[in-house]
A and B are shown apart, each in its own frame.
Chain A
Amino acid sequence: MASSGARVGQVGVAGLCLAALALAWGASASRFARVARGRASERVQARALPTDRPASEGFVGSKRCQACHPDAYATWHQSWHRTMTQAVGAGTVLGDFARAPLPHADGPHALERRGEEFWVRMPEANWLLERGAGEVEGAAPFAWQRVVMSTGAHTMQLYWVAAEPGRRLVAFPFAWSVEGQTWVANEATLLRPHEPDVVYGWNEVCLKCHAVAGAPEVELGADQRRAAVGTEVAELGIACEACHGPGADHVEAQTSPLRRYLAHLGRAPAEAIVHPGRLDAHRSSEICGQCHSASIFPDHQAWLGRGSAYRAGDELAASTQVVRHPVLADQPWIDGLLDVDPDYLSGRFWGDGTVRISGRDYNGLIESPCYADVEFGCASCHEMHGDFPDDQLSPFARNDDDRQCTQCHTALGEDEGLGSALAEHTRHAADSAGSRCVNCHMPHTVYGLTKAIRSHRISTPSVEESVSYGRPNACNACHLDRSLAWTARALEQGWGLGWEGELGELGLAEGERSAAVDWLVRGDAGQRALAAWAFGWPSAQATAGTDWMAPLLVGALDDEYAAVRWVALRSLRTLPGYGALDWSLARPLHVDGAPELAEEQARLWAEWAHPGRVEPALYLGAEGFEQARWRHDHERRDRRPVDLRE
């Protein structure tokens, strides 16, 4: 028995050892498989991302700059320029990949995080491209695809997956809204008519400005299809060499401490590098203008190859054609552009030639009267290495104290208070929003990133810009409850800025309707978006009051343009009692319909507290919100398609 027991024990021990070995083997195999999968996945990302430009072109990358310029590197590192494009990794993704699948007309799009990788289940990227070209139709073939790159980090973040051939990248159809902490369809982030089959590619569009010295390296086949895509960049994101030029020669020159100290002591210039602050203001501004402009390249095929020939410090016009509206400049080559893209101007400019989309502020700058001064440029108000990433405004331009203007217009900055030169000029209290230079001369008439942005065409408010071109004027963009006739009279009496037109004939007589309300209810989509934004602007709210706004913004929640809905919801959330409204109220209407939205609108209208006064211009009736009249007008809104190419 003892012998038998010992044998049983030996067998047991042997069994345990075998089991342990099996477990260990299994664990190892599993680990090896994971490592192998990880490496394969890394190869997928490496194959998909742009490759480096050749060393012979002189780019060294921002890390090399950091060693000698740690403070400048640090301020750049915290800027939104840096995060404009990033290779996806655990520390770069803002979106919530644990969310439930996202509803979409093609089918639900699933999200998943796998360790430090991010995956999406969406239609195969190449199939989307083929459908966009009208080559395939029907049910979309779904597949899990790794997210390899992201765009943005400030207001939203978009994600890119690999497509063929080569290093072609296609957008995941949803973006992460930082503000709403929710996923939104890419289409919903843009002010454009709903286009179900649109596909966003990176290599020939975003690359131009979202990386340093991007070269699409796109080869077209005989059938004009992409035969090869070998995109190169000096660096992802907008980094040092975008503004300072290639750094290799500078790095080489500055390895000598003697040279460095001679430069520090001002005995020798910093060699072989562009310092925008030492250029004249116009040449310096062209560095910003390489991206912040509506522009094209004279030779599109050359651009598809090696990208833009512009390097910081160059004359921009030598390589890039900045598009100016024909009402402001004669550019014979624009006819060729309009032959290819007839909507180019309407998608970017107001009828008076003022640029109307975000990210093209250089176009506004060069049309400004201040630009006639050779000392005036982007750096008059902005700084790239400050401590204020939002808008990158210089300290004196952040605090609404007008110093960005009074540094030149000194007479308006000499004193304050009623009766001061400033108050006499503005006809507003010196400490009010109406006395801030930018509120009148840089109104929020640019649209982009689901918000209104200040126009960088410094101008004088006029009724004509609104009547003739539909561009909201600064007065009515703040005095939201006032009519165009009121503005015409105020400009005439206060500043002698008369307007010869017959407002009454246009149905714009004083008291008949508020201009801003009219833009929100009956305007085109561009006007509706800007008006909806103005309703949430604190300065306008303080000027016009807020107790009448909610029903109009609730009405805008069923706008056919998703961007208008989003902006209206944001403004609505700023009103007392509406801050808890869920961002899902602004979700796409075309995916799952919006029966509950109508119910929500009805509830919000019913619960709104009537301020107790009657103002037809604001749809305030004796009984409450004049819903029937509002609906009558809203049904007659300007439905001409608006497609803003931000």
Chain B
Amino acid sequence: MAEGKLDGRHYRWGWASLGVFALIGLALETLHGFKIGAYLDHETRRTMWRLAHAHGAVLGLVHLALAAQLRGAAELGGKTPRASLALCVASVTMPLGFFLGGLWFYDADPGLGILLVPLGAVALVYACLQMWLDAR
């Protein structure tokens, strides 16, 4: 993939992600504000949804950082496209896993949606590794 396309993808993804998770943050604040029991009364749900919000927002920043790095780079390393794809996978699966884990849960254990999170974590670690290799 061409450099311009990749950095553009991550700029778009990053800003879209920040926008979406800012709205989700607003929604969580609203649940707090109106003391919605379905959210406040379940510690597992609160934890999972907070984690979904935090991971989504931070990964949005990572997308922006990657886009900035790509725009400033003279040329792409060979591993960057794979890192880009892995970051995208992680950016979907981690927040989604936390969200689903809090949507259906068992007492203090999150629901089976949480299985997406380790998948995303592996993808994120892979992305970091690839970028590190390219940056050597």
Q: Footprint of B on A, CB under 8 Å?
A: 67-72, 257, 260-261, 264
Contact = CB atoms under 8 A, between A and B. Distances in A.
Interface of B: 41-44, 106-109, 112
Contact of B43 (A70, A72, A264): A70
A70 B108 CA distance: 6
Contacts of B109: 68, 257, 260-261, 264
A69 B108 contact: yes
B81 to A, nearest CB: 35
22 contacts: A67-B108, A68-B107, A68-B108, A68-B109, A69-B107, A69-B108, A70-B43, A70-B44, A70-B107, A70-B108, A71-B41, A71-B42, A71-B107, A72-B107, A257-B109, A260-B106, A260-B109, A261-B106, A261-B109, A261-B112, A264-B106, A264-B109
Contacts of A70: 43-44, 107-108
Contacts of B107: 68-72
A264 B111 CA distance: 9
A279 B82 CA distance: 55
A377 to B, nearest CB: 25
Nearest to B44: A70
Q: Rank and list the top 5 A-B pairs by shortest CB-CB distance, nearest first.
A: A264-B106, A68-B108, A70-B43, A69-B107, A70-B108
A257 B110 CA distance: 11
B108 to A, nearest CB: 4
Contacts of A67: 108
Overall SS of chain A's interface:
helix
Nearest to A74: B41
Contacts of A261: 106, 109, 112
A250 to B, nearest CB: 13
Contacts of A260: 106, 109
Contacts of B41: 71
A144 B106 CA distance: 51
A264 to B, nearest CB: 4
Nearest to B43: A70
A69 B106 CA distance: 9
Given A70-B108, A71-B42, 15 more contacts: A67-B108, A68-B108, A68-B109, A69-B107, A69-B108, A70-B44, A70-B107, A71-B41, A72-B107, A257-B109, A260-B106, A261-B106, A261-B112, A264-B106, A264-B109
Contacts of B108: 67-70
Interface-central residue, A67, A72, A257, A264, by most chain B CB under 10 Å: A264
A64 B65 CA distance: 43
By CB atoms of chain B within 10 A, which of A67, A70, A72 has the most?
A70
A572 B43 CA distance: 46
Contacts of B106: 260-261, 264
A201 to B, nearest CB: 40
Contacts of B42: 71
Contacts of A264: 106, 109
Interface centre among B41, B44, B108, B112 (most CB of A within 10 A): B108
A425 B106 CA distance: 45
A69 B112 CA distance: 17
A543 to B, nearest CB: 38
Nearest to A69: B107
A67 B44 CA distance: 10
A257 B109 CA distance: 9
A67 to B, nearest CB: 6
Contacts of A71: 41-42, 107
A264 B107 CA distance: 10
B75 to A, nearest CB: 45
A71 B42 CA distance: 7
Contacts of A72: 107
Nearest to B112: A261
B119 to A, nearest CB: 16
Nearest to B42: A71
B100 to A, nearest CB: 14
B35 to A, nearest CB: 15
A268 to B, nearest CB: 13
Nearest to B115: A261
A68 B109 CA distance: 7
Nearest to B109: A260
B49 to A, nearest CB: 15
A134 B115 CA distance: 71
A261 B101 CA distance: 13
A72 B106 CA distance: 12
A89 to B, nearest CB: 25
B89 to A, nearest CB: 23
B111 to A, nearest CB: 9
Contacts of A68: 107-109
B116 to A, nearest CB: 14
